[in-house]
Structure 1
Amino acid sequence: MSAASVVLPPLAATSPLDGAVIAEDIVKSEGSVEIVAVTPAVDYEPFLPDKKYHKTSPPELLTLTEEQEAVYQEVLKHFAAEDYVIPDLKDGDGKLTEEEKFYLTYESFLRFLRASRWNATNCIKKLEEALGWRREYGIYDTLTVDSIKEHCLNGKVFIFGYDVDGRPGFLDIPGRESSPEGPCRIKQYVWMMERAVEIMPRGVESVAVMMLYSATSKSTSFGHSKQIVDTLQSYYPERLGRCLLNNGPFWLTILMKLIDPFLDPVTRSKIAVNRQIIAEGDFTPDQLIKEWGGERELVWECDRYLDKLVEISGKMKEKRLTKWRELGGNVGLREWDYKEE
C-alpha cells in the first residue's frame, strides 16, 4: 500500500517563546502515524520575555556612592514635594497625575541623573521638560494605537524578540517605508518605545535598536534623523542599550557623519555597523527574525500584531501599576521592587 502525505493544521505547543506554533508533516502508512518533518514556527505576534531574561539581582547602576546619594535625594525632594507642579505647561493643571508619579521612579531619576552628569539642577530641568513633553505629546491619552496604525501597515518599525541581556528588539527596516517623513512617523517611534518600556524584564532598562537596510531603502533626510535622535536623547535618556546598523547604503555613512556631532559620547559608543550579531553573541537565533539571520519567520499582519502588542504591554503595565500602588504609589519607588515576579 502506498503512503499518502497529509498536512495537518498547526499544532499548538508549549515553548520557551511563549506559545510558539509548530507545523508537523504527517505520513499515514497502513494505520501508523509517523512524523517525517518539522517546519519552523511562523510568527504573527510579539511575545513577552522568557523568565530567564529577568535579572535576579539589581544592576550595578542602582548602587550609589555617598555623593551620588546626596544628589539623588535633592532631586527626589524636589519632585516629591506635596505642592509640586510641572512648570510652564501650556494647558491644564501641573499637579502630578498617578501616571506621572508612576513614571518618576528611582530608576527614572537615576537615568536622568546619569544623562545630566550627576548635576541636580540640570537633572531637574531635563525631567521637567520631559514631564511637560509627555503631557503635551499625549503619551497618556491621545497617542493611541489608532493614531499611529496607518504608519504601521508595512511593518517598518516593530518590537520583536530580546537580545542576550533581555533588551526588547526595536526593529526598523527602512526598505518598507511608504509614508512621508514628518511628525506622524516620529510618533510611531515614540509609541513603540513606550510599549517596549512596558514589556522590559525586571532589571532591564534599555532597548536594542536594529536597523536593517537594503537596496530599496530610501534616503532619510538629515533633519528628520536629527529630530528622532533629539527626541530619544532628550526624553528617553539611557534607554539605548545597543544600536545595530546592517547593510547600510552609501548615503548612511554620510548621514552618520552629519549626525555624529549631535550624539553624546555614550550613545555613540553603542552604535555598531555591519556587526555579526549572532556570531558575536548579541542575539540567539531563536530571538531573531530571518532577515537578520535568525530562525523566526515573522509574517506581518498589522492589526494582529498591534492588537497583541497592546494586549501584552497593557497587561504587564497594569500588573506593575497594581504592585506599585500596593507599595504606596509614591514618587521614587523602585522599578526593581514592583517588577518582582
Structure 2
Amino acid sequence: MSGDPNGPATNGCGNMLKSQEQQAKINEVRRLIGPLSGKALIYCSDESISRHLRARNWNVKKAAKMLKQTLKWRAEYKPEEIRWEDIANEAETGKIYRSNFTDKHGRPVLVMRPCRQNSESIKGQVKYLVYCMENAILNLPAGQEQMVWLIDFQGFNLSHISVKVTRETAHVLQDQYPERLGLAILYNPPKFFEPFFKMVKPLLEPETYNKIKFVYSDDQNTKKIMEDLFDMDRLESSFGGNNNSKFDINIYAERMREDDRKMPSFWTRVNIPPSVSYDAPPLNSIKLDSNSSSSDIEERDSTLGHEIELGNTKPDRDLLAHQGGLNTTTELS
C-alpha cells in the first residue's frame, strides 16, 4: 500500500494547492457538511474536499452538495468492502485490470479491453469498475491523486458498444470519483467508434472530455506520446511497448487478494509517508493531441455542454486520515 491517496492537495501532477483562499473554501465545505464520524470523517480529508471543489470549479455550495451525495453513495454502496471473490467472475477475461507498472508520474494504470467483455450484467460491470477504481486508489503513491486508463480497441466491434454501460461508467467516474482520472488513452479505436463517441459526448463534463485522447499506432506522434508517459520496457506491446507479458488471471487474483487484506487498515491509518518525486517531464509539456481523431479535436458543442447534475461524487478513498483525525464503461476492458 503506497502513500496517502488523498495526497497533498494537488492538480494531479503533485503541484501543491496552498492558497489561503482555497483553504478557506475547503473549511467552508467542511462546515456545510457538518459533523462526521467513522469512514466519512476519514474520507473527508482536505485533499478529498479539494477534488470535489475542483470538480465544481471551486463553487463551495455545489462542492458540498456533491460531497454529501458521495458520502451517501459510499455509505449505501460500501465500495471499500468489495472483495475479489465478489467480482472474480467479471475479471477472469482481463477486460479491466491494474497493470504492474505506473506511468512516469507514478499514476496507476488501468488497462481496459472492451473486446473481452464477458458479462451482460450492468450491475456486475459497474461493481467491478468500482472495485478497480478503489484498488487503483489504494495503490496511489504519496503526493499522487490520479490514475491513467489505457484502453485497447483491438478486436472491438459494434456488439461491444453499450450506451447504458457508458452512461453508468461516466456516472461512476464523474460523480463518485471526481478528479481521479488523469488521462484516458483510447488506443487504435476503429472509425465506427467516432460517431458513438460523439453521441455520448453530452454525458461527459468538459474536464473529463479533455482528458480523453485518441492515439493511433500509425500516427507519427504516437511513439513520442507513449515514450513521454511510460517506460517502454514496461509498457505492454499491445500499446507499442517492449513488454510481451500477458494477463494471467491466477497471478492477478493473488495480487488482488493481497491488496484486499490491506484495505481495512487503509481506512484507519493516520501516518502519511513523505511525497515521492518522479523522473518525468511535466504533464503539461507532453503533446497529447495527436492529429488522430476529429472527435478528439472537435470543440465541445455548446448546445450539448449543459452541466450535468452529478448527483453523487466522491473523492474516493482518500480515506486517509482527515487532518490526522481519528476513490461503466464497458469496462473498457
Shared fold per TM-score greater than 0.5: yes
Q: Write the letter of the residue equivalent to 2:213.
A: A
Query: When the two structures are aligned, how many residues end up with a matched partner?
Result: 266
The separation in 1 between residues aligned to 2:199 and 2:67, in whole angstroms, is 28
Shift of 1:125: 0.9
Find the partner of 1:63 among 17, 30, 37.
Answer: 17
What does residue 153 of structure 2 align with?
A: 213
What does residue 25 of structure 1 align with?
A: none
Indicate the SS of the match to 1:259. helix
Q: Does 1:245 align with 2:186?
A: yes
Shift of 1:311: 1.1
What does residue 37 of structure 1 align with?
A: none
Indicate the SS of the match to 1:250. coil
Q: Unpaired runs of 5+ in structure 1?
A: 1-47, 85-95, 335-341
What does residue 96 of structure 2 align with?
A: 157
1:96-135 Cα deviation digits (max 9, x unpaired): 32x3322221110100011111122111111111111112
Shift of 1:310: 3.2
1:114-173 Cα deviation digits (max 9, x unpaired): 1111122111111111111112112133x2211111011111100002111111111101
What does residue 46 of structure 2 align with?
A: 106
Give the direction of change, closer, same or farther, for the CA distance of 1:159–1:140 in structure 2 (3 Å limit). closer
1:14-54 Cα deviation digits (max 9, x unpaired): xxxxxxxxxxxxxxxxxxxxxxxxxxxxxxxxxx88x9xxx
Indicate the SS of the match to 1:245. strand
What does residue 234 of structure 2 align with?
A: 287
Q: Does 1:204 align with 2:144?
A: yes
Q: Does 1:273 align with 2:205?
A: no
Q: Does 1:74 align with 2:65?
A: no
Identity %: 25
What does residue 200 of structure 2 align with?
A: 259
The separation in 2 between residues aligned to 1:250 and 1:317, in whole angstroms, is 44
The separation in 2 between residues aligned to 1:316 and 1:279, in whole angstroms, is 37
Is the 1:106–1:333 contact (alpha carbons within 8 Å) kept by the matching residues of 2?
Answer: no
The separation in 1 between residues aligned to 2:140 and 2:170, in whole angstroms, is 21
The separation in 2 between residues aligned to 1:246 and 1:256, in whole angstroms, is 14
The separation in 2 between residues aligned to 1:216 and 1:257, in whole angstroms, is 17
Q: Write the letter of the residue equivalent to 1:72.
A: I
The separation in 1 between residues aligned to 2:148 and 2:321, in whole angstroms, is 30
Is the 2:9–2:17 contact (alpha carbons within 8 Å) kept by the matching residues of 1?
Answer: no
Shift of 1:57: 11
The separation in 1 between residues aligned to 2:192 and 2:116, in whole angstroms, is 17
Find the partner of 1:174 among 102, 114, 121.
Answer: 114
Under a length normalisation based on structure 2, what TM-score does the superposition of the two structures give? 0.71
Q: Write the letter of the residue equivalent to 1:246.
A: Y
Structure with the higher fraction of residues in strand conformation: 1
1:240-263 Cα deviation digits (max 9, x unpaired): 100100121233211210121222
Q: Write the letter of the residue equivalent to 1:302.
A: I
The separation in 2 between residues aligned to 1:163 and 1:304, in whole angstroms, is 21
Q: Does 1:121 align with 2:68?
A: no
The separation in 2 between residues aligned to 1:56 and 1:121, in whole angstroms, is 22
Indicate the SS of the match to 2:79. coil
The separation in 2 between residues aligned to 1:216 and 1:121, in whole angstroms, is 42
- What is the alpha-carbon root mean square deviation over aligned residues? 3.0
> For structure 1, which segment, 178-187 or 108-117, has the greater mean C-alpha deviation from structure 2 after superposition?
178-187
Q: Unpaired runs of 5+ in structure 2?
A: 274-319, 326-333
Shift of 1:211: 0.6
Under a length normalisation based on structure 1, what TM-score does the superposition of the two structures give? 0.70
Is the 2:112–2:152 contact (alpha carbons within 8 Å) kept by the matching residues of 1?
Answer: yes
Shift of 1:79: 4.2
Q: Write the letter of the residue equivalent to 2:269.
A: T
> For structure 1, which segment, 67-76 or 123-132, has the greater mean C-alpha deviation from structure 2 after superposition?
67-76
Give the direction of change, closer, same or farther, for the CA distance of 1:278–1:76 in structure 2 (3 Å limit). farther
Find the partner of 2:84 among 122, 145, 154.
Answer: 145
The separation in 1 between residues aligned to 2:164 and 2:52, in whole angstroms, is 25
What does residue 265 of structure 2 align with?
A: 318
Q: Write the letter of the residue equivalent to 1:157.
A: I
* Larger RCO (alpha carbons 8 Å, 6+ apart): 2
Q: Does 1:299 align with 2:238?
A: no
Is the 1:163–1:284 contact (alpha carbons within 8 Å) kept by the matching residues of 2?
Answer: yes
Q: Write the letter of the residue equivalent to 2:172.
A: T
What does residue 283 of structure 2 align with?
A: none
Give the direction of change, closer, same or farther, for the CA distance of 1:297–1:316 in structure 2 (3 Å limit). farther
Give the direction of change, closer, same or farther, for the CA distance of 1:244–1:120 in structure 2 (3 Å limit). same
> For structure 1, which segment, 128-137 or 56-65, has the greater mean C-alpha deviation from structure 2 after superposition?
56-65
Shift of 1:181: 4.7
